[in-house]
Every structure is written in structure tokens, then in C-alpha cells.
Structure 1
Amino acid sequence: MSSSEITGTVQGAGTARSGSVRIDHVTHRYGRGGETFTAVGPLDLTVPAGECLVLVGASGCGKSTLLRLIAGFERPTHGSVRVCGAEPRPGETAGVVFQTPRLFPWRTVRGNIDLALRYAGVERARWPERRAELLARVGLDGTERRRVWEISGGQQQRVAIARALAAENPLLLLDEPFAALDALTRERLQEDVRRVTDLTGRTTVFVTHSADEAVFLGSRIVVLTRSPGTVALDLPISLPRGDVDAEELRGSREFAELRAQVSHAVKAAAAT
């Protein structure tokens, strides 16, 4: 794994750029010869710049595979993936947050963030200011001198999000980043991600198997069928964004109706 892939950042990035994603007639298979398995496709999907798209579906439907294709970690067997009109470049096109934080345990919080800033091409003189900004954005003020093993799992995932934001690249990709966390921490981090994506305006693709999480986070939800993953439902979400009360939103009738619709679609797609 290269250093730029570890950080999931754009080297030499300046200001944030809007990033659209276009997936044209994509099919992706694993294996060779007669021992092949089709994970995704055929699939067509366009993600406009600034949208927060959530991919949801049962385990094994190809959500993570599709995210890796968008990140450029894999190339599709057939079809094409374009980010800002060009092929995605691993470690450059997108900041990526994985299911586990993948931090360097021998470094402090500060050291992990500084490494991301270094590979992002940020001038060293700007590191303190940029680091403070990133940690404040994910609610980790005052933690920069702590070792990774001294902070909670939820805080570690916040550091991973801050690291992915270190370079102001056009795209943020998150692959079930809260799956291993307790319910309360998960809800708090969902609120963090919702706030951060709204503030930065980055195009965001978030993978989950939770209908509740999908409705809370997404401005649009795509439900995938069971493998090979294709689009079973493409649903725009009209819930208010910005400065809203998270508990009030989760308790609203509109939220409950959307959650039920997505949950039903996921179950139906898995049974097809």
C-alpha cells in the first residue's frame, strides 16, 4: 500500500474542487477463466457534484466493490468510471474512510494528521493552522498530543475522517465506517459526517447496510440488488439539511416513512 493510498489524499491539492462521478455500463468480475464471480453490474449511475449519495443494500451486494471502483483501487472489467471527467487516481481523486480507522498506532493524533498534510502537499508552515481546523471540524479539539491507543474507537474514526479531509480533493468516500461502533457513538458520528459534508460541499459516497443511517445521511439513496449489484431503487431525499436538530429529524414522520421505504426496498432487493 502506497503512502498516498494510506492517507487517501490528493498530493499538492489547494482548494476544494467539486467532483462529479459517472459510472457507465460498469460490470466488475473477480476470478479467472471459468471460476469468475460477477460482483457488480451492469450498472449506470451519475453522482452530481456536491451530492451526498448513500449506497445501501444487504451484505455481499457489491457496495464496497463499487466504492473501490470509484476510488480507483480497482478497474472495472467492463465499462468506465469517471471522476471530474477523468479516470480516478488512487490516493489522489478521493479521501477514503474505511471500516477500520487504519491509523498509525505509534503516532499521536497530531502525527497522523501531519502525515496526511505532508502527502497532501500542504506547506509545513500551514500545518498547525490546518491541523487545528481539521480536528475542530470533527470535534477533537485538544486531542492532538494523545496516542491513538489512548482515545476511543469513535475518536479514532474521527481522526480517520479528519485525515481524509486533509487534502481538499473533490470526493469523500466512506465504507461502512461506523459498523463496529456502539449505537450512541454511531449516531454522534453520523451527525458529524452530515455536518462536515454540508460544510465542505464535497461530493460524498457513503456505503452502509442500515436504512436508518442511509436516510439520515443521504441527499440521495441508491439501493443495490443482491450480487451482482444493480440499481433497485434510486431515491432523492428531501429532508432538511444544514443546521437542524438531529433528534427532531430522526423522530419526524417523514424520516420514518423514508426509512420504511428504504428498508422494504433493501429486503425486496435481497430476495430477488
Structure 2
Amino acid sequence: MDLKGLTKTYGTGTTAVAALGPIDLTVAPGEFLVLVGASGCGKSTLLRLVGGLDSPTAGTVSIAGDAAVPGRNVGVVFQQPRLLPWRTVGGNVELALRYAGVPRAERRDRAADLLDRVGLPDVARRRVWEISGGQQQRVAIARALAAPTPVLLMDEPFAALDALTRERLQDDVRQVGAESGRTTVFVTHSPDEAAVLGTRIVVLSRHPGRIAADLASPLSRDADGAELRETADYVGFRAEIAAAVRAAAA
């Protein structure tokens, strides 16, 4: 994935506000890139541009040489699950499989496999309102994985969850990312979350949002999440990210 000269400006003339850029960034296949920074630095704006959900003022986004098209080469998980309440849990995932071109006869089993992959093996027949917020977000992740897109974008998907559920989902996402081999771009304001998830951390400055730091993670992707959080390497890397965020916001 390549971003070249990417900028976003809101308004025109004397009221124009430069929100982002220019951003030049290349993300390797299979990389787990975390965008982190203070509020208002343009993290979500950049994610929307990468996902083809908004148009840049200038610059380009390309995924394997093609423009970003949601559902075709980009999957998105938002802060809120955005599930269809009139469908069952399994039905939400099956709908994504339908749009991905999976034959009807295969959808139920494929949906069950995806739900099992995110730790929900027995909820396919339940209604959305019958499961917790954390479980709903897992369903949203399973739905995003249903489409065979090479890139997965996640916009602070755990921000509204309690700390324990957030850690569990972080561990799920780490595992799914490693197993699927997809390129993932994850937005967060938390150095803790950035450290545990990312193979690479990009810190954005504010007004306009620009790349202030680009950090490669020294942490093992094979380590258990709970054990990883207790290591000196994790504590040190989290501190390095936090210092970079503070410097970028100054």
C-alpha cells in the first residue's frame, strides 16, 4: 500500500483548514501498522482516505496499484459495530460473505468458522442485542474478515469497551492478523494499545497531521499478549511511543 503526497484540507480561501499532510508512506504486505497521536492529529481522517471513504485534497492512495474501494480491496471496522439488528449474529457475517461472492451453500459453515476464529463459536443463532458490546465488536471483525480484502482498517474499535474486554480483543486481533497475513492499519490514541498490537508505529503531529515518528516494534509477534505486557521490552517500547506522542503534540 502506497500513500503519496496525501493531503486533506477542509473549506476554501481564508476559512481553509489544513487537516492532514502531506503524507508519504509505504506499508508492506502483512504489516500491522498502528497510527497513534493526540486527539485532532488526523488519525481517523487518514484512515478514511486510505479506505476510500473520503477523497484527498491532493495525493494518491494505491493498494497493489489499484485505488482503494471499500469491500473490494479494503475492509473496515469502525468504533461502533454497526451490525444489522434484524439479522442474527451469523446472518450479519453471512451477508458479508454473500457480497464477497461466496456460494449460498457455503455461507453458514464459513460464517461459523469466522465466528470461531474471533472466539465466538456458539452465538451464530443469537440476535445482536442478546450479546455484549465486546462480542458485537468481535462479530464486526468477523464480518470484515469475511471479505477477502488484502487490507483491513480499524478505527479505534475498542475505545468504548472496558479494560478487560479491550485486552482480550487486542489479543484476538493480534492472533487474527498474524494468521491471516493481511495488511492492517489500526488507529488508536493509546501508546499501550499501539505497543501490544503494531509491528510498526507511526506517530502523527497536529495542525496539520504529519508523520512525526516511524517506529519498528522490537516485540515478538508470537508472544502471548498477557505475558508480553509484563516484559521489560514492552514497557520500554510503550514508553518510547508515549514520549514520541508527547513530542508530536508539543
Q: What is the TM-score of this pair, normalised by structure 2? A: 0.98
1:124 aligns with 2:104: yes
Which residue pairs with 2:247 in the alignment? 268
Counterpart secondary structure, 1:64: helix
| Per-residue deviation, residues 194-241 of structure 1 (Å, max 9, x unmatched) | 000000000000000000000100000000001311111100002111
Instruction: Write out aligned runs for 1:74-153 (5 A).
Output: 74-153=54-133
Which residue pairs with 1:7 in the alignment? none
| Per-residue deviation, residues 37-87 of structure 1 (Å, max 9, x unmatched) | 111101111101110000000111000011011101112111111111111
Counterpart secondary structure, 2:11: strand
Distance in 2 (CA, whole Å) between partners of 1:161 and 1:80 is 27
Q: What is the TM-score of this pair, normalised by structure 1? A: 0.90
Distance in 1 (CA, whole Å) between partners of 2:74 and 2:21 is 22
Which residue pairs with 1:3 in the alignment? none
1:254 aligns with 2:223: no
Distance in 1 (CA, whole Å) between partners of 2:196 and 2:228 is 8
* Amino acid across the alignment from 1:134: L
* Amino acid across the alignment from 1:205: V
Distance in 2 (CA, whole Å) between partners of 1:121 and 1:95 is 15
CA deviation after TM superposition for structure 1 residue 32, in Å: 3.0
Which residue pairs with 1:4 in the alignment? none
Task: Answer whether contact 2:71 2:147 (CA < 8 A) is retained.
Answer: no
Structure 1, unaligned runs of 5 or more:
1-20
Task: Answer whether contact 1:70 1:83 (CA < 8 A) is retained.
Answer: no
Counterpart secondary structure, 1:165: helix
Distance in 1 (CA, whole Å) between partners of 2:91 and 2:109 is 14
Counterpart secondary structure, 2:121: coil
Distance in 2 (CA, whole Å) between partners of 1:89 and 1:246 is 32
Segments of 4+ in structure 1 off by > 4 A? none
1:202 aligns with 2:189: no
Distance in 1 (CA, whole Å) between partners of 2:12 and 2:100 is 37
Which residue pairs with 2:142 in the alignment? 162
Task: Answer whether contact 2:218 2:233 (CA < 8 A) is retained.
Answer: no
Distance in 1 (CA, whole Å) between partners of 2:115 and 2:101 is 18
* Amino acid across the alignment from 1:202: R
Percent identity at matched positions? Answer: 63
Distance in 2 (CA, whole Å) between partners of 1:107 and 1:31 is 40
Structure 2, unaligned runs of 5 or more:
none
Which residue pairs with 1:237 in the alignment? 217
* Amino acid across the alignment from 2:164: L
Distance in 1 (CA, whole Å) between partners of 2:51 and 2:217 is 24
